[in-house]
Structure 1
Amino acid sequence: MMGKRLTVRDLLDARGKHQFAMLRVETLDEAEAAERAGVELLSVPPAMIMDRRFREVAPTAFAFPGDNFYEIGDTADFLRWAFPLFKNGADGFYCSGSLATVRAMADHGLPVCGHVGLIPSKATWTGGFKAVGKTLETAQLVYRQCKALEEAGAFAVEIEVVPHSITDAIAEKTGLFLISMGAGPGGHAQYLFTDDVLGQTKGRVPRHAKVYADFAAEHARLQEMRVRAMTAFASDVHKGHYPAPQYMVDSDPEVVAEFRDWLDSQD
């Protein structure tokens, strides 16, 4: 599916035909690596969209900037937040705000992705950081939230930590593009955080996250290398070994002598 920048229509048309890979990236290096690796969808900090270098390193990625609703504000604030990002190349927008906000953004032609299931910023309503949808009541809640977002004009929804069988059933009853984070292969994209994939998460790694590298060990190794190099530098300075002649420049002796004579004349 790589080779061109994807559109909303491309994603919707590919439902059930192609599983998309999606990552949350925090740096341009991560965005470039994801592009080169064939990861089609990226969740990015809003500031990254405003950096012209982003599209230089990730020209084909379908990019979703997003922030928590309490960081942005009400409906008018969301619109003010989204318009400059859309102008600068955002492809879709995470919106964990109200249905009224989703509706207003969609009415302006902004592609909106909602959030259902375990929503970290709203987890108090579903009992904390645990799966949502394991009971009939909570499975019905997830479905109703999907339908409400679809009716409000969202084209996609992140479905997070929902039992995979529930996701499968919901996928059959909605036209939304489902982005699965720990919600099984019934989603149309599989979404993880780069920190988890690279093994650099501090603290507990979510059950749904698969770790593919051990950057934490590599960071620790590099830190020890930093300490050794800095220790050697400090030792050289303290013992007078640095700077040695090969690290210095000098003037001709005649120039130095003339300069010293001139300095003496300034007394």
Structure 2
Amino acid sequence: MTEVTRHVNRGVTSRRLPTVADLRAWKGRRQLTMLRYFSLDEAAAAEAAGIDIASVPAEIVLDPRYRAVAPTVFSMTGQTHLEMGTSDDYLRWCGNALNRGADAVYCSGSRRTVEKLSREYFPVVGHVGLVPTRATWSGGFKAVGKTAEAALRLFEEVKAYESAGAFAVEIEVVPAEVAAEISKRVGILLWSMGAGPGCDAQYLFANDILGYTEGHVPRHARAYRDFGAEYARLQRERAAAFSEYAADVADGTFPQDRHLIRMDPRELEKFIDGVDRQ
């Protein structure tokens, strides 16, 4: 963990960790911010920036150090149905995640699985629109809900999640007008990834914001920094430093005397004498 991670939260005293009840009470009152991030350093930066919600890989949010760096970020984690298995597998995994510090669990499985989790009072978040693990059913990686018929199906899917007990759904790559109309007609929270400002939270990936996404950058993403160029510069510097070290070893300029531990000459003489007698 870096020095920034250890100290970035000093002075952050005015916020507390929101509950599901808090998030529900804020529906329609203000736009929340949501990130997907991938390290403790990014978690600490999100805390310092006052980010409301995060989707966090399990290995990060379940790290014992996580809550020290992101004490007030409402943090969701999860596994897809392709990774998880049965609804019982989901139940066991989600129970462990909540016990170890997650605030909510993501479920891309069936509404039956969502209902099973919600009956056990697990805060569950579903996913509608472009769902990567189900993209084949919606025609691939493209916008969903561009026709009235498709938009109505989307509305019914959101209502089904609400009926199953989910408290929120990610709504991804959906026409802004459609998402706004759905949000006005349901009590469930809509977290928008490329679905416009008429939802309850705006959701972006940290790698897109920081400019280190490799390959395709989504239309809805916005880069605020160019970490990609900085990472490339650091890699060049890393390779240069390693090359200089190798050259110093080859020509004998490393190690120098200041890098070594020296023995008292009298003790060295005794040591050599003892070795020679063996």
Shift of 1:228: 1.2
Distance 2:255 2:58 in 1: 45
Question: 3-state DSSP class of the match of 1:63?
Answer: strand
Alignment size in residue pairs: 265
User: Aligned residue for 2:17?
Assistant: 5
| 1:65 equivalent among 63, 72, 77 | 77
The answer to whether residue 121 in structure 2 is matched with residue 117 in structure 1 is: no
Unaligned ranges ≥5, structure 1? none
User: Aligned residue for 1:255?
Assistant: 267
User: Aligned residue for 2:6?
Assistant: none
Question: 3-state DSSP class of the match of 1:140?
Answer: helix
The answer to whether residue 241 in structure 2 is matched with residue 229 in structure 1 is: yes
Residue 84 of structure 2 aligns to which amino acid in structure 1? Answer: I
Deviations 1:123-170 (A, max 9, x none): 011111110010112111211110110000111000000000001110
User: Aligned residue for 1:16?
Assistant: 28
User: Aligned residue for 2:227?
Assistant: 215
Shift of 1:204: 1.1
Distance 2:63 2:252 in 1: 45
The answer to whether residue 180 in structure 2 is matched with residue 168 in structure 1 is: yes
The answer to whether residue 159 in structure 2 is matched with residue 147 in structure 1 is: yes
Distance 2:81 2:39 in 1: 22
Shift of 1:48: 2.3
Distance 1:69 1:194 in 2: 24
Distance 2:92 2:61 in 1: 15
User: Aligned residue for 2:39?
Assistant: 27
Distance 2:64 2:239 in 1: 35
Deviations 1:83-104 (A, max 9, x none): 0111122111111001110000
Residue 162 of structure 1 aligns to which amino acid in structure 2? Answer: V
Distance 1:69 1:81 in 2: 12
What value does the CA root-mean-square deviation take over the aligned residues? 0.9
Distance 2:173 2:276 in 1: 79
Deviations 1:39-71 (A, max 9, x none): 110101122232121100000111100221111
Q: Decide whether the 8 Å contact of 2:17 with 2:71 is kept in 1.
A: yes
Distance 2:68 2:187 in 1: 33
The answer to whether residue 214 in structure 2 is matched with residue 202 in structure 1 is: yes
Distance 2:34 2:101 in 1: 18
Question: 3-state DSSP class of the match of 1:66?
Answer: strand
Q: Decide whether the 8 Å contact of 2:27 with 2:200 is kept in 1.
A: yes
TM-score by length of 1: 0.97
Residue 51 of structure 1 aligns to which amino acid in structure 2? Answer: D
Distance 2:232 2:184 in 1: 46
User: Aligned residue for 1:159?
Assistant: 171
Distance 1:240 1:171 in 2: 69
Distance 1:63 1:49 in 2: 7
Mapping of residues 122-141 of structure 1, within 5 Å: 122-141=134-153
Percent of aligned pairs with the same amino acid:
49
Deviations 1:151-200 (A, max 9, x none): 00111000000000001110111111100000000110000111111101
Please identify runs of 4+ aligned residues in structure 1 that moved more than 3 A: none
| 1:239 equivalent among 238, 242, 251 | 251
Q: Decide whether the 8 Å contact of 2:209 with 2:223 is kept in 1.
A: yes
Unaligned ranges ≥5, structure 2? 1-13
**Larger deviation: 8-17 or 43-52?**
43-52
